[in-house]
Structure 1
Amino acid sequence: MQKTKILWADDEINLLKPHILLLNEKGYDVATFTNGNDALEAFGKEHFDLVFLDENMPGLSGLETLTAIKNIRSDIPVVLITKSEEENLMEDAIGSKIDDYLIKPVNPKQVLLTIKKLIDNKRLVSEKTSSAYQQDFRKLGMTLNDKLSYDEWVDVYKKLVFWELELEKLDDPQMHEILTMQKSEANAQFSKFVEDHYLNWINDKDPAPLFSHQLLKNKVFPLINSGTPVFFILIDNLRYDQWKVIHPLITEHFRLEEEDIYCSILPTATQYARNAIFSGLMPLDMEKRFPALWQNDDDEGGKNLHEEAFLSDNIKRTLRKECRFSYHKVLTFDQGKDLTDQVNNLMHNDFNAIVYNFVDMLSHARTDMQMIRELANDDAAYRSITLSWFEHSPLLDLLKKLAQKRVKIVLTTDHGTIRVKHPSKVIGDRSTNTNLRYKQGKNLNFNPKEVFLIKNPHEAKLPKINISSNYIFAKEDQYFVYQNNYNQFVNYYNETFQHGGISMEEMIIPIVTYTSK
């Protein structure tokens, strides 16, 4: 194993010989210099893992050397050693991206502790994280064999996401593989759980989770008319793990008031789930109440063109009092910028509903565009692209503007997505819909072990295209493939992000409330 190599520059380096000898005994290789110029020349020629710089050197000062070093290699940690803790000096050092500082006279134990923290920290954290997951792996494994409630399934999913994000920081393929297998096992059990309970939930025969059509009534409308404008922001297709990575950016500007979960209805597709959110109705009831607006799978045209009308009706039906509201759907960067410019006008409303479609478009683009496929080649990369979009989006600009005012923000989504890996053969007639995670039709032929079949759609509060229609839903990470052109279909859609079926990723949905700081 190669020794950790340290560069130490100090004009009084001879006085630090005891420190250097101790570091050599501990297995560190230390190169010493008496001025910034020589240190810089060596740093440009050799590889160092860590740099100690005296702040008060003649010629090139410690801060000047620090800036030059960071310009060469910004990833190498630099520790400034100083006689002074003056505020302006510390501000300059922090502004120059210092990693740590020590006050003279320097204690050898302080030096060792600093090295451990900056160099060995990654290895120590990696070992501790792996060990902690291995312990939790056994607990989770036993938990999956229990008869879990919906709330317990939520806890399982949150824990799996937690470990997914923690292990992502480590370069440990074996741990990743173990977690992937455990997540797959959990999704298999969760699919059975949903299959066993969904119809009873929807028909109020069993205690049920909060569903899409109950979301506004239970979680959002009670916040209206408190004198504080409520902004309901729905980012289409945003999974719980994707929310977790953008959440820290939001809490820079807002205080987290409540983190909660709700369950997407089936199909976990925009046409059904999002219309249910805004209307406050299940799809069958939407079809009955809005025969001219509701569109079935076989109808031509967009399926989410009437959300504002659904929302208006829901507000009148549920609130039964005056409510000034607005509805905006953001599909482009310019639309997002225009909305941000309207913040002052939006503040006059009691309630503002905003739909952002970027993540949904990203998942579809990943299917259709090779470049996006390569950029988002797994769940970690998919999260990373979501974070990058959010960091540079008009949505974050909007939130920054709103943070300067007294508002409540309710952030959620309509459904998540899952990366599909296992094709499931299905045969249907020409009227069968194109979604890869659910099918509606009258002559469907399929493997009954691989699907959740709803023979009577009305029992699930779903409309029928015709009298003999039924629905099938893909479970876990499967996706429906037609018999014709099977191989071509598999090659095109395998490993893409899809929604409409049953999985923790699609159904367990974040709804989070933030308030101004």
Structure 2
Amino acid sequence: MSLAKILWVDDEIESLQSQKMFLENKGYDVHTLTNGFDAIDYIKENIVDVVLMDESMPGITGLETLAKIKEVNSSIPVVLITKNETENLMDEAIGSQISDYLIKPVNPNQVWLSLKKIIDNRRLVAERTTTAYQQQFRNLFMALNANPDYNEWMGIYKNLVYWELSLQRSDSPEMQEVFHTQKAEANTEFFKYISRNYASWVSGKTGNKPVLSHTLVREKVLPQVEKGVPTFFILIDNLRFDQWRAIQPIFAESFRVVEEDTFYAILPTATHYARNAIFAGMLPIDIEKKFPQHWKNDDEEGGKNLNEEAFFRAQLASLGEGSMRVSYTKVLNNQAGLELVANIHNLLNNDLNVIVYNFVDMLSHARTEMEVLKELAGDEVSYRSITTSWFEHSPLHQALKKIADKNIKIVLATDHGSVRVKTPAKVVGDKQTTTNLRYKHGRNLNYEKRDVLAFREPKEAGLPSPSVNSSYIFAGEDTFLCYPNNYNHYVNYYRNTFQHGGVSLEEMIVPVVTMVKK
């Protein structure tokens, strides 16, 4: 490893020779200068890892030198060293993007610690994270094999997401491989768990069940609504828990998280089913019975999510909340987003404002179709990165910033997540069989039993029967369902794309987060 190059600028540099020697003994290459002008010229001609700079120098101050250095190379870390402890100088220094601030007299260990923090931070964090995960690996393994219940599964998945995001900073491909194997094992066990328990959850045969899509509003949203405090129920379509964690720091700039929880998306984990269930407060089989004119099956023409507001108002009425002042806004494109920004203050007069924001879902579909997005979102890390970049610059973020100083509540949730599919499985069906990759329904479906969770009676899964003898099948883990004709083409086309509709931790265990203003 090459020596880190340090430039130390101080008009009394002669008195710091012992400190210079201390750092050189620690393995740093230290070059010294006595004024800001020479420092600026030196930076133009030489590679420097960190600048240590005195604030009070004759001719040009440390802060003035800092500004010039940042003009030459904005990414060079600068540590300001000063006798002056006044708050306005500290504020000015921090505002000028210094990396650290030391008060004279400094001892050698102080300077060394500051350099380690700046230069070695990534490596040290990565090493510590790898060691910590190695210690946690056995605990996770034991948790997976202890027959976890639905609450423990939510804890296991949160834990896996924590380590996935932590190991993202690690430079250890071996440890990443170990983690991905463990996550795959978790999804295998989760698929078995859902296969054993899902039917009893939706049939009402067990009282011990998680919050599901159709109970989300009743159990997680309405309890937050109080007179005089506008509540915003924001549903970002297809937002996985790891994607929430990626955008959480942006929310944290303006809002305080009161509760970060998860709930279970119903099957199929697809917008048509899961989101209609959220707004109707019913399972799809009951929506079809109560609103036959509004429910459309997969194989029918027309939009499948055009009646959410009607469903939602009917749910409120059935819960005795029909008099509540409610707004419903759906954002499907950038123009609708800009209209939300312009209108957000008017929503403060309501008790509850529903905002459905379609972006992540469009991103996952576009990623399947567009080669450039396959490059940009090639894996989970880049998928999270694109989601973060979108949210930071989105009209939704702009709109929320406009009301961040108001006394409001936010309940952020989603309808389902998605999973990156890798393993093809053959399915044979008749002409009416649906084309979805993570679930299918139709008559006379032929499949390998081990690949899917099957419901020969759709009502057992709380689902309508599109036709006589229809059955539903759901892919588990990272499987995607393909027809035998033109099989290799479709396998290659869809492998490594993000899909939803089936049974996986990523699709089913999704965020519901309550926030208030800071």
Name the counterpart of 1:177.
Answer: 177
- Cross-structure match for 1:501: 502
Is 1:480 the equivalent of 2:477? Answer: no
CA distance in 2, matches of 1:96, 1:74: 11
CA contact (8 A) 2:458 2:472 kept: yes
What does 1:444-455 align with in structure 2 at a 5 Å threshold?
444-455=445-456
Deviations 1:55-80 (A, max 9, x none): 12223332222222223333332111
TM-score, scaled relative to structure 2: 0.97
Structure 1 CA distance for aligned equivalents of residues 104 and 415 of structure 2: 57
Q: Deviations over 1:26-65 (max 9, x none)?
A: 2221111122222222222222221111112223332222
Shift of residue 320, structure 1, vs aligned partner: 4.7
Alpha-carbon distance, 1:325 to partner? 1.2
Note the 1:4-43 alignment, pairs <5 A.
4-43=4-43
**CA distance, structure 1, for counterparts of residue 324 and residue 153 of structure 2:** 37
Say if 2:324 is the partner of 1:323: yes
Which deviates more, 306-315 or 332-341? 332-341
Is 1:279 matched up with 2:280? Answer: yes
Q: Does the residue aligned with 1:295 lie in a helix, a strand or coil? A: coil
Match of 1:394 in 2: 395
Offset, 1:263: 0.5
Measured in 2, the distance between the counterparts of 1:39 and 1:232 equals 54
The farther-off stretch of 277-286 and 45-54 is: 45-54
Q: Are residues 226 and 200 of structure 1, via their aligned partners in 2, closer, same or farther at CA, if it must alter by over 3 Å?
A: same
Supply the distance in 1 between the matched residues of 2:321 and 2:309 (Cα, whole angstroms): 17
Alignment of 1:371-450 (within 5 A): 371-450=372-451
Separation in 2 of the partners of 1:348 and 1:112?
56
Question: 2:191 corresponds to which letter in structure 1?
Answer: S
Which stretch of the first structure deviates more once superposed, 474-483 or 120-129?
120-129
How many angstroms does 1:408 deviate by? 1.5
Cα RMSD (Å) of the superposition?
Answer: 1.4
Q: Which residue of 1 aligns with 2:55?
A: 55
Whether the 8 Å CA contact 1:262–1:511 is kept in 2: the answer is yes
Please give the residue correspondences for 1:21-100 in structure 2 after superposition, counting only pairs within 5 Å. 21-100=21-100
Structure 1 residue 422: Cα displacement: 0.7
5 Å-filtered alignment, 1:84-233, equals 84-206=84-206, 207-233=208-234
Contact 1:221 1:319 in 2 (8 A): no
User: 1 CA distance for matches of 2:175 and 2:76?
Assistant: 27
Matches within 5 A, 1:275-354: 275-354=276-355
Distance 2:298 2:256 in 1: 41
Code of the aligned partner of 2:149: S
Residue type matched to 2:104 in 1? K
Scaled by the length of structure 1, the TM-score of the pair is: 0.97
Q: Which amino acid aligns with 2:212?
A: F
| Amino acid corresponding to residue 500 of structure 2 in structure 1 | H
**8 A contact 2:345–2:403 mirrored in 1:** no
For residue 80 of structure 2, give the secondary structure of its aligned residue in structure 1: strand
- In structure 1, stretches of 5+ residues that fail to align are none
* 1:147-189: CA deviation from partner (whole Å, max 9, x where unpaired): 1111111111000100111111222222211111111110011
Cα displacement string for residues 179-225 of structure 1 (whole angstroms, at most 9, x for unaligned residues): 11111110011000000111111112232111100111111123335
SS state of the match for residue 257, structure 1?
Answer: strand
Deviation, 1:385, is 0.7
Q: CA deviation at 1:321?
A: 4.3
C-alpha distance in structure 2 between counterparts of 1:439 and 1:11, whole Å: 75
SS at match of 1:303: coil
Say which SS state the counterpart of residue 244 (structure 1) adopts.
Answer: helix
CA deviation after TM superposition for structure 1 residue 249, in Å: 1.5
Distance 2:224 2:91 in 1: 42
Show the counterpart of 1:356: 357
**C-alpha contact 2:127 2:170 (8 A) present in aligned 1:** no
Q: One-letter code of the match for 1:107?
A: N
CA drift of 1:345 comes to 2.4
Q: Conserved in 1, the CA contact under 8 Å of 2:328 and 2:355?
A: yes
Cα distance 1:38–1:476, how it changes in 2: closer, same or farther (>3 A)? Answer: same
Question: Contact 2:313–2:322 (CA<8 Å) still a contact in 1?
Answer: no
How many residue pairs get aligned? The number is: 517
Is the partner of 1:44 in helix, strand or coil? helix
Q: Distance in 2 between matches of 1:115 and 1:255?
A: 33
